[in-house]
Amino acid sequence: MSDAITVSLSRQTGLLNELSVIANNIANANTEGYRTEAALFSEFVSTRADEPSVSMGALRAHFPVLDQGALIETGAVFDLAIDGDGWFAVNRGGEVLLTRAGRFQTDSDGQLVTPDGDPVLDDVGTPVQLPPNAIEVAVSSDGTVTADGLGVAQIGILMAEPEGLSRVSDNLWRNDGPVRFAEEARIRQGFLEGSNVSPVEEMARLIEVQRMYEAGANLGESEHDRILSLIEALGTRR
Amino acid sequence: MTALRIAATGMEAQQTRVATIANNIANMSTTAYSARRASFADLLYRQEVTPGVLSSRTGTIVPGGVQIGIGVRTAAVTANPTQGVLTNTQGDLDIAIEGRGYFDVELPSGEIAFTRDGRFSLDPNGLIVTAEGFQVAGGLAVPEIARSVRISNDGQAFAIFDDGTPPQQIGIFQITTFANEQGLEALGGNLFRETEASGVPLTGFAGIDGAGFLRQGYLEESTVDVVAEIADLIEAQRGYELNSRVMTAADEMLSAATRIR
């Protein structure tokens, strides 16, 4: 295969991957606390002795766009949204994971849990426990949980560096970098943070990927024609 | 081709959302119905390049990595147990709970179910029953000669007589609360059943230990906010279209791939 075809194939493989990323963003456009995944193409240069170098594009990295999603008012007592930076901490199987999806509820023991049943942690890393018969539960903007006027817990808000974050599924993130507690967290009760996927941008990306892919396919085709006509021309020259 | 399947999970999620909205709108006039909402979570990620792996001998690491998600799933469809508006019906046996709690209802099987629908009536034996004829737990019976029934805020029921007989107490309404109301299993017919998730029923009386007070002559309306539901419906429909557009694009790219020669 000629360089032209190899180069465009490497690009097309990357574009297929990017299509999956866009599809995942759009599928999660209504997932609470979801963060858009952006793709980064980078060039790598293949050099061979005595030949001009060829540069190829490849999908090298993705990075999550950590902008805040829109806050949606739900009015539910245990729907919490973080306004600004920071993450809720939840405990899954002994591991502390992070989430921005604040749709919580209580379990049969009165612990504050995610829809998957993972307990939400307070500012010292223990599960938030509510009295089972509380009538009025309020969460103040700094994360203090009061049940019928008595303070019962303080919801922990963690700050993490974007470099250490990786996605786990179920709206959770794993953090391998340093964490610290947020000094100034702003929690809004009765709100949920939507995903930060912008459907318009994703559509534009989708069309771009599709056209680029077709361009790559066309390039392959015209390269094929070029070589074919070359062979024909060389064949009839005798 | 993963993009096709990812878009399919997205369409499925939006379908669940539309079904939830349809059920809410269908139940907008159901007594004491709480609006339900679907919530979603992302699926597992395929690690193409794990973030943090070494990218050179000198110890530089890959900062971002390539993680490709495989779609979305419905994490939960939860009811939001908020107080519905109370409407005045003047009915003697229309009782609303203002605050937390459920009435206990005995099913024909003997099992206890729970409801917030307080539209009660009398059966031929004078027992207080639900609209479906299931007996309210506690065996409250109204004597035949009674003119009316008076129910106090804390659940005491009295029979009132015409002939000058003093009011006679006929029983008390039990009110049950749960640690996690969202964990109750809906049985249909406005009835709920306890589950592992809801915790054990905490049976008590109105106004005690967090249970709400009773209001005679009122019924609790559903908490469905029709305007919000319609806005949600439009969003779900657009979400569905977006996902189907991704599917078309994936399909066209696949067909371009088959044309490569």
- For chain A, say whether B202 makes contact (Cβ under 8 Å): yes
Q: Is this complex's ipTM strictly greater than 0.95?
A: no
CA distance linking residue B121 with residue A157, whole number of Å: 51
- Give the per-residue pLDDT at A39: 75
Residue B254 has a pLDDT of: 86
Classify the phi-psi angles of B205: left when phi > 0, otherwise alpha if psi is within -120 to 50, otherwise beta. beta
What is residue A59's predicted lDDT score, i.e. its pLDDT? 65
Query: Residue B146: what pLDDT?
Result: 86
What does each C-alpha distance from B109 to A70, B105, B135, B173 come to in angstroms? 48, 11, 11, 21
- Burial degree of B179 (CB within 10 A; 0-12, 13-18, 19+): buried
Q: What is the pLDDT of residue A47?
A: 66
Q: Is B241 an interface residue toward A (CB < 8 Å)?
A: no
A106 contact B CB<8A: yes
In chain A, % of residues over pLDDT 70: 91
The reported pLDDT for the residue numbered B22 is 95
Q: Which two tokens stand for residue A89?
A: 């901490």
Nearest to B249 among A19, A107, A115 (CB): A19
Torsion region of B228: left, alpha or beta (phi above 0 gives left; psi -120 to 50 gives alpha) = alpha
How many other CB atoms are found less than 10 A from the CB of residue B147?
10
- Strands B148-151, A95-99: pairing is unpaired
Q: Collect contacts of A48-57 with beta carbons under 8 A, ≥24 apart.
A: A54/A3, A54/A6, A54/A7, A55/A7, A56/A6, A56/A7, A56/A10, A56/A11, A57/A7, A57/A10, A57/A11, A57/A14
CB B189 within 8 A of CB B119: no
User: How would residue B69 be classed by pLDDT, with cut points 50, 70 and 90?
Assistant: confident
Contacts 24+ apart (CB under 8 A), A45-52: none
Least CB–CB distance from A62: residue in B64, B70, B177: B64
Q: Do B43 and A74 touch (CB under 8 A)?
A: no
pLDDT of residue B80: 80
Q: What are phi and psi of B191, to 5 degrees?
A: -105, 150
Question: Which member of B40, B202, B259 has the closest CB to residue A30?
Answer: B40
Side-chain-side CA neighbours of residue A187 (13 Å): 27
b/e code A129-167 from CB counts within 10 Å (16+ = b): bbebbbeebebeeebebebeeeebbbbbbbbbeeebbbb
pLDDT digits (tens, 9 = 90+) for B195-230: 988 888 988 898 888 888 999 999 999 999 999 999
The Cα B202–Cα A235 span in angstroms is 92
- State the CB neighbour count (10 A cutoff) for residue A124: 9
Residues in contact with B237: Cβ distance below 8 Å, sequence separation at least 6, in sequence order? B14, B18
**Cβ separation of A24 and B180 shorter than 8 Å?**
no
User: In this predicted structure, what is the pLDDT of residue A49?
Assistant: 65
Q: Which of A20, A133, A217 sits opposite B260 (nearest CB)?
A: A217
Nearest CA in chain A to B202: A133
Report residue B5 as tokens.
């399947």
What does the CA dihedral A69, A75, A80, A82 come to, rounded to 10 degrees? 40
Q: Select from B43, B78, B260 the Cβ nearest to the Cβ of A105.
A: B78
In this structure, are residues B222 and B29 in contact, taking their beta carbons and an 8 Å threshold? yes
Whole-number Å distance between alpha carbons of B91 and B31? 14
How far is C-alpha A146 from the chain's CA centre? 32
Residue B256: pLDDT over 80: yes
pLDDT higher than 70, residue B12? yes
Q: Is any Cβ of chain B less than 8 angstroms from the Cβ of A17?
A: yes
pLDDT above 60 for B153: yes
Structure token pair of residue A115: 């829809």
Q: Which among A116, A214, A224 is the nearest to B75, CB-wise?
A: A116
Question: Measuring CA to CA, which residue among B48, B91, B41, B72 is closest to residue B220?
Answer: B91
CA atoms of B235 and B225, how far apart (whole Å): 16
Which residue on chain A is closest to B55 by alpha carbon? A60
Query: Tell me, what's the pLDDT at B45?
Result: 83
A205's CB contacts (< 8 A; 6+ apart) are A18, A22
Contact residues, chain B, for A226 at CB < 8 Å: none
Q: Which of residues 95-124 of B touch A (CB under 8 A)?
A: 99-100
User: Min CA distance, B17 vs chain A (Å)?
Assistant: 10
The answer to whether residue B239 neighbours chain A at the CB level (below 8 Å) is: yes
Distance separating alpha carbons of residues B120 and A146, to the nearest angstrom: 36
Tell me what pLDDT residue B221 has.
92
- A contact residues 26-85, partner B, Cβ 8 Å cutoff: 26-32, 34, 37, 40, 59-63, 74-76
Chain B positions in Cβ-Cβ contact with residue A81 (cut-off 8 Å): none
Mean pLDDT, chain A, rounded, equals: 85
Kindly determine whether residue A61 and residue B249, on different chains, have CB atoms separated by under 8 Å.
Answer: no
Q: What is the pLDDT of residues A22-76, one digit of tens each?
A: 999 999 998 998 998 887 766 666 666 676 777 776 666 677 888 888 898 888 8
A1, pLDDT greater than 60: no
**Alpha-carbon separation of residue A226 from A55, A105, A211, A217, B261 (angstroms):** 21, 65, 22, 14, 13
Asked if the model's pLDDT at residue A168 lies above 80, the reply is: yes
Q: Could you give the CA distance from residue B220 to residue B84 in angstroms, rounded to a whole number?
A: 5
Element housing B104 (H / E): strand B102-106
Mean pLDDT estimate for chain B = 88
> DSSP string of B172-218?
E-EEEE-S-GGGPEEEETTEEE--TTT-S-EEEETTSTTBPEEEETE
Q: How far is B15 from chain A (nearest CA, A)?
A: 12
Q: Give the model's pLDDT for residue B23.
A: 94
- Does residue A12 have a pLDDT over 80? yes
